[in-house]
Structure 1
Amino acid sequence: METIQRIIKPKVLICLFILGLIFIYATSETYAKVVRFKDENYFLNPKTNEKEKFPSIEDKPTLLLSVIIPAYNEEKRLPIMLEECLEYLENKLKSNPESTYELIIVDDGSTDRTTEVGLSYSQKFGCDKVRVLTLTKNRGKGGAVRMGMLSSRGEQLLFADADGATTFEDISKLQDNLKELVKGESLDIALGLVCGSRAHLEEEAIASRSVFRTFLMKGFHLLVWFFAARSIRDTQCGFKLLTRATARLCFPNLHIERWAFDVELIYIAEHIGIPTGEISVRWMEIEGSKIVPVLSWLQMGRDLILIWLRYSTKAWRIRIDSKEDKKYN
């Protein structure tokens, strides 16, 4: 009897492993797909009350900087962030006419007045500077950032959280590091990704968060290092700058649309050789976080294990250039 049990157990484990692989392949698309509802192709010009079409990430850039702001039920916190962001960008534009910019506020299926708040700034500054992309349904932070990136016009693209936790003027530090990464190449064709960080990489970095959140973050960072990304210590800081070519390559390839999308973004960058940098930024914890303690971290942990497993088993693959049908396997 014991001999039979010793034979059966390995067979059961092998069968479970095979069934697991079949499940992974059967429940995932090999190449990521961008699903966009018709209304998500347009933004409202509040001055004419007419809808205008968003450009594509495949188009040539017409601005220096695009700032993507994912927002879900952020009618209260969003104005504070926008005031700081716009004050900085307007001052830059006055001192240097080449510092052109746009803000794309992506309302991720909010049930409050997030879209109306965004449109009030579009009315004030003009829709050439502030545009609102209202998603038909909630996709998650990663899905919102992705849709904003694919609708942008900038040579440089930054995504920043709507809570204003990161001091916006620290973008200049990221821009300086991005210039070092691209080594003089045009930002339309050069590859580079710079991540803002709360990991005390520089003495002037200022970070403040609760003990419980710090404990969860450190545990998550350990899992990230083990399963997915090793070049960036703080993968979850919502302040990342990349070139247009990097966005054009990475965001159509993202499968994860919720909190762990940052990890997949960095995973893709590492595996296809995109230069990455990490720069400390000033950051403070803001009340009203959409992260649900424990549950959100469990979801992120599950997703990063799936990132490692699905890419390792080739259930997920990266499309390098769809026009020439080149792929990373």
Structure 2
Amino acid sequence: MTTAHPHAPAPRSLTRPPVELELIIPAFNERRRLPGTVAATLRFLADRPWSSAVVVVDNNSVDGTLDALDAFTADGPAGPAGRVGFQVIGCGDRGKGAAVRRGIETSAARFIGFADADNATPVETLDRVMRLLRAGHGAVIASRHAPGAHLAVEQGTLRRGGGALFRSLARLTLPEIADTQCGFKFFPGTLARSIVRDCHVDGFAFDVELLAQVVKAGRDVVEVPVEWTDRAGSTFSARRDGLRSMADLLRISLAR
């Protein structure tokens, strides 16, 4: 879904305490896959030298996703930079883009980004991501198609075909980026909070819109090749979401 109205900054009362890195996980009906991803992410972050938090943005799940997260507390595991925070917030607007936007708008972190609920991109990629962010880059994103990337488990034929078509349309807007859709993207917090106000796509083409805003702001996008594993259980539907995403891509390209 695409909305036409501008997004106002989130009320200060909704903003979370600042940390160096905040990782957002948008979730819609992820009861089976999400707990393992959250647990692995919290364990990894606890060993890192930066303060951090994990924020799940629940997108109106109806499968018991929230109940599956009851085992996690607000004060996560302790590490050299203190305890890793954990929080669940809601998003009433449907779509991955709406959920990620909600997470960014309510963040006060120095660096912020999002990852998929299936843990398809190894969380260890964050070590390289943080080095690049601290070096001053505008966006650091995981890539399945940059030189050096490896697909440990590929998607099915239909998803691969749809992905190839999506990438060809995304290049109309972002010709230099090999993979706009790998769900692992991180940004300086001030930049992300500024540009997300001009993002309006609620669906899966949100990634393209957000990266286009990074480029429009005069900042660079660095792709990090990863070993990526397809995980069963995606809520993306080629029939339901595919045509809408293609239409959003064309609108993003025409709006440049």
TM-score normalised over the length of structure 2 = 0.88
Equivalent residue, structure 1, for 2:128: 173
Higher relative contact order (CA 8 A, sep 6+): 2
Alignment of 1:26-65 (within 5 A): 29=4, 32-34=6-8, 53-55=13-15, 62-65=18-21
Alignment partner of 1:117 is 2:68: yes
Q: Secondary structure at the match of 1:269?
A: helix
Partners in 1 of 2:222 and 2:141 — Cα distance?
6
Q: How many residues align?
A: 250
Cα separation, partners in 2 of 1:200 and 1:232, compared to 1, 3 Å: closer
Cα separation, partners in 2 of 1:192 and 1:80, compared to 1, 3 Å: same
Cα separation, partners in 2 of 1:204 and 1:173, compared to 1, 3 Å: farther
Question: Percent identity among equivalent residues?
Answer: 29
Partners in 1 of 2:249 and 2:42 — Cα distance?
34
Cα separation, partners in 2 of 1:242 and 1:148, compared to 1, 3 Å: same
Unaligned runs of 5+ in 1: 1-26, 43-52, 183-190, 313-329
Cα separation, partners in 2 of 1:255 and 1:138, compared to 1, 3 Å: closer
Q: Secondary structure at the match of 2:176?
A: coil
Q: Secondary structure at the match of 1:277?
A: strand
Cα separation, partners in 2 of 1:268 and 1:170, compared to 1, 3 Å: same
Equivalent residue, structure 2, for 1:14: none
Among 113, 133, 136, the alignment partner of 1:158 is 113
Alignment check: 8 A CA contact 1:118 1:131 kept: no
Cα separation, partners in 2 of 1:33 and 1:89, compared to 1, 3 Å: same
* Cα shift at 1:111: 1.0
Alignment check: 8 A CA contact 2:3 2:201 kept: no
Alignment check: 8 A CA contact 1:207 1:282 kept: no
* Cα shift at 1:206: 4.5
Cα deviation digits, residues 91-140 of structure 1 (max 9, x gap): 22xxx3xx1111111001111222233343125628971011022x3421
Partners in 1 of 2:151 and 2:47 — Cα distance?
24
Alignment check: 8 A CA contact 1:195 1:241 kept: yes
Cα separation, partners in 2 of 1:267 and 1:216, compared to 1, 3 Å: same
* Cα shift at 1:200: 4.3
Alignment check: 8 A CA contact 1:197 1:281 kept: yes
Q: Secondary structure at the match of 1:63?
A: coil
Amino acid at match of 2:55: I
Cα deviation digits, residues 166-210 of structure 1 (max 9, x gap): 111111122222233x1xxxxxxxx61111111142166746222
Partners in 1 of 2:40 and 2:15 — Cα distance?
26
Cα separation, partners in 2 of 1:119 and 1:155, compared to 1, 3 Å: farther
Equivalent residue, structure 1, for 2:169: 223
Unaligned runs of 5+ in 2: 78-82
Q: Secondary structure at the match of 1:87?
A: helix
Among 148, 154, 157, the alignment partner of 1:202 is 148
Equivalent residue, structure 1, for 2:80: none
Partners in 1 of 2:55 and 2:15 — Cα distance?
12
Amino acid at match of 2:215: E
More helix by share: 1
